[in-house]
Amino acid sequence: MSICLGALALLGAAPAARATELRILTEENPPISFSEQGKAAGLGVDLVDDIQRRLKSHQAVQVLPWARAYAMLQQEPNIALFATMRTAEREAQFKWVGPIATVKTSFYARRGDGVHLANLAEAKAAGVILVPREYYSHQVLNHLGFVNLQAVSRPDIMVRMLMAGRRGLMVGDNLTIAALLQNVGAKAGDAEPVYTFMESQYYIAFSRQSADALVQQWQASLDEMKRDGRFAAIYAKWLPGETPPGLRPNAPAEPGAAGK
């Protein structure tokens, strides 16, 4: 009862917390977010739209290249960016609303190439690894001392390079790999995970200058979505067969945990 009353109190404070307009950003990362006929679509977009509906807000979601959107999140006030992986390296940089999806991050190779990795040490010695620039995976692997990374501007470029045989490994995740492959003309199973090094969760990240009341309102609305079944319905629409994350946020992801 006290939780519901607290959520209602936060919702009632919405107009004051929206005194400064929020700018909501995302990237091309299907099925979480993507452009469709000039508008943003995807799982994350549906979630954000429903949160705004509950808060009586109507800010449009902008689709930008990830590196640009991430720089804006770090440097400008009143920015919300999704889907942003919550990692230990990023924990203190932003304010967090979520979780909105659970993700397994792996090194991927072309199916049939015979690539096998047993641990991170083998990955460090495996040749050049493709990774999207300024993604959580890029940051985490840099932090772990990887010097064999080739950062590219977009995930689709990375996938094209892997499938063309220009590199033997790339970094991807279980939620977006099928759509990425299909978008470059490959089949969903043409790339396979050869070592999973991280299990973590996507969040909506807010710039540090964002008002605490606004972030709390968004979290309260997301929690209500999870209680009333709307969150599960959106998740099933975009990620059928996957289990949606619950109410309790997990701790920031620790790299290598999934590979132990």
Amino acid at 230: R
Q: Which helix (H) or strand (E) holds 138?
A: helix 136-143
23: left (phi over 0), alpha (psi -120 to 50) or beta: beta
Higher pLDDT, 196 or 249: 196
Residue 59 banded pLDDT, cuts 50, 70, 90? very high
- Domain 103-199 in the same topology as domain 2-101+202-245: yes
Q: For 185-206, what is each residue's pLDDT tens digit? A: 999 899 999 999 999 999 999 9
pTM for the full predicted model: 0.79
pLDDT score, position 7: 45
- At the topology level, CATH places domain 103-199 in D-Maltodextrin-Binding Protein; domain 2 (3.40.190)
pLDDT tens digits, one per residue of 108-132:
999 999 999 999 999 999 999 999 9
pLDDT-above-70 percentage for the chain: 87
Percent of the chain with pLDDT over 90: 79
What the block records as the tokens of 22 is 């929020």
Quickly state the pLDDT bin for 5 (edges 50, 70, 90): very low
Mean pLDDT of 223-231: 96
**The predicted structure's pLDDT at residue 150:** 98
Query: What is the average per-residue pLDDT within 47-75?
Result: 96
What is d(CA 207, CA 10) in angstroms, rounded to the nearest whole number? 20
Sequence-separated (6 or more) residues with CB below 8 Å from residue 158: 130, 131, 132, 152, 170, 171, 172
> What value does the mean pLDDT of the chain take?
89
| CA terminus-to-terminus distance, the chain | 40
Please work out, in degrees rounded to the nearest 5, the angle formed at the alpha carbon of residue 38 by the alpha carbons of 33 and 41.
Answer: 25
Where exactly are the structural domains of the chain? 2-101+202-245, 103-199
CATH of 2-101+202-245, one of 3.40.50.720, 3.40.190.10, 3.30.70.3280, 3.30.300.30: 3.40.190.10
Q: How much is the average pLDDT of 79-106?
A: 94
pLDDT band at 77 (very low <50, low <70, confident <90, very high): very high
pLDDT band at 2 (very low <50, low <70, confident <90, very high): very low
Instruction: Please answer whether residues 25 and 61 qualify as being in contact, where contact means their C-beta atoms are separated by less than 8 angstroms.
Output: yes
On the question of pLDDT at 258 being above 90, the answer is no
- DSSP H helices, 154-205, are 155-163, 177-183
Q: Any residues with CB less than 8 A from the CB of 213 and at least 6 apart, and which?
A: 10, 13, 16, 17
pLDDT of residue 89: 84
In 42-78 the beta strands, taken as DSSP E runs, fall at: 61-63
| Residues 28-53: tens digit of each pLDDT | 989 999 999 999 999 999 999 999 99
